[in-house]
Amino acid sequence: MPSTMRLYKALSGLTAAALLVAACAPAATPTAAPEPTAAMAPTEAPAPTEAAAPTEAMAAYEGLKVEAESCDYGGEIQSIEAIDQYTVKFTLCYQDPDFLSKIAFTVFAIQDKEYLDATGGDSVAMSEQPNGTGPYMVSEWRRGEQVTFTAFPEYWGDAAKTQTAILRWNADSAAKFLALQSGEVDAVDNPAAQDIEAALTDPNMQVAGREGLNIFYVGFNNTIAPFDKVEVRQAIALALDRQRIVDQYYPDGSEVAQQFLPPSFSPGFSTTGDGATWYEQNIDEAKALLAAAGVAEGTEIELAYRNVARGYLPEAPPVAQEIQAQLAEIGLNVVIREIESTEFLDATAAGQVGFYLLGWGADYPAATNFYNYHFANTQNLQFGEGYTEIFDTITQAGQISDPAERQALYDQVAALIKRDVPMIPMAHGGSAVVYSAAVEGAHTSPLGNELFYVMSAGKDTFTFVQNGEPAALWCGDETDGESLRACNQVYDALMAYQLGGVAVEPGLAESYTANPEGTEWTFSLRQGVKFHNGADLDANDVVATFEAQWNAKSPNHVGREGNFEYWGAFFGAFLNAD
């Protein structure tokens, strides 16, 4: 067994164990629903301290409240209210077993209300001087080169171990690995398979493996010919040799995908029914389907991709070329088009690309994160006209806490996706971060949210290289991992994911309670938390942050492109949408 395989199998076992532990912890698990007979107990809060008697009456706190007239608008959230200066209450339209995991995500990190108002919720303006509560401040963003972070001296948590952290990017795997070998940088994300092998035998390096909680897929937009015909999509599915692609272009620890979900997701991954396994390669049947669809031999189609190495797709250009060669066997003339990363993501989400290579890494380890974002999200048009039956079944499953009932619905979803072929599941990719041996606190996360402030290379600066440049440095309206990694260093959400893991723990909220039905969640904020601009955190900051994404009529509902895709995926319809 190759050494890399041993590494990934060991890490996969550790991650699986972490998932199991998380599933047994009622306050931390991302999928467990509140007990039906009693309210959830709050997590332990610091003991109160005695305050001096006020010399005059304090002004009453004017808490914000945003609410829908009713739940008929189609979203999950009914209201968000600042009960007092440090207490926020969310009222949901229905139970959501994954609610805590969702609000822990970086996209929902809390902003200072006054700063949000001053910048009008414009992600571009906010990126000029990001203002979070996190362990690092942004001191400089040199476009096209690097982002420099400086430790925030008033951070509410543990102080950063390194005063300065630098985030760089390079799509050239060989070049970034050479920079690590030379000591120019301290860590590189998603190195090529051969570089991982080399690092495993190099005493000057350490390899931190990352389990493949991801999916690489070939996507179709059903409003763009010839992909508007299901026979064409099925033909391409039958033509591809997915095993060859994994064997040739993926590191050990990767596997061919049978479904859109990673196999460790339960409930979610289907082990029974038509959707449990994907189509086997069958060239003759593929040709027959193309003929039935009236697609002539030699028909030209365009395949688009972005040249960014990710855990789900370590080497996009050769994979695109391999697919081009394989589809030539059924008479399709594939023209390959490379598009810049941010432009590519914006174009696919807007429904402007017909045939493309994309993927997804877990934001939290549950089926709702994969299925709802892609197939039950009105803000994501990448597959064209929505697949109503898939949409409705996914939505129904996400509102049920019983695992067996949810699984039965997800079995239906897997079968429907196989029938309609909005995409072809290709691979679950194993990946890694390679660090200098000198780095203390080196780690990876199955969610890809490595935190720089816990690491030190024994010098004043820690330098991490990823694959692409962030699109913005406020992530409310972003979906790319490059932006999210940068935002993770600067901002905090109400809840947080455990370091290197998937379990949820308190973040800016030091404790929370929920009603027995799981529809009312009340959070107590940490007191004394400062934003980088010196403002104090309070409950109105939380309400304003969520309203900026939720309320389509809010003056702060701007972002970068204005899509707020994660909101649609996690919480459904916008409030006051046209």
- The pLDDT tens digits of the residues spanning 75-108 come to 999 999 999 999 999 999 999 999 999 999 999 9
pLDDT of residue 211: 82
User: How far, rounded to the nearest angstrom, does the alpha carbon of residue 31 sit from its chain's CA centroid?
Assistant: 16
Low-confidence ranges of the chain (pLDDT < 50): 1-57
Task: Using CB atoms within 10 Å of the CB of residue 357, give its burial: 0 to 12 exposed, 13 to 18 middle, 19+ buried.
Answer: buried
Give 424-485 as a DSSP string.
EEEEE--EEEEEETT-BT----TTS---GGG-B-SSSEEEEEESS--S-SS-TT---HHHHH
d(CA 28, CA 200): 34
* CB atoms inside a 10 Å sphere around CB 272: 11
**Domains in the chain, CATH or no CATH each:** 3-41+76-119+493-571 (no CATH), 127-210+431-488 (3.40.190.10), 214-428 (3.10.105.10)
* CB atoms inside a 10 Å sphere around CB 391: 18
pLDDT of residue 58: 55
pLDDT of residue 283: 98
Task: Using CB atoms within 10 Å of the CB of residue 62, give its burial: 0 to 12 exposed, 13 to 18 middle, 19+ buried.
Answer: exposed
Smallest CA-to-CA distance from 324 within 305, 296, 310, 308 is with 305
Q: Name residue, tokens 């039905």.
A: 517
pLDDT of residue 43: 36
pLDDT of residue 365: 87
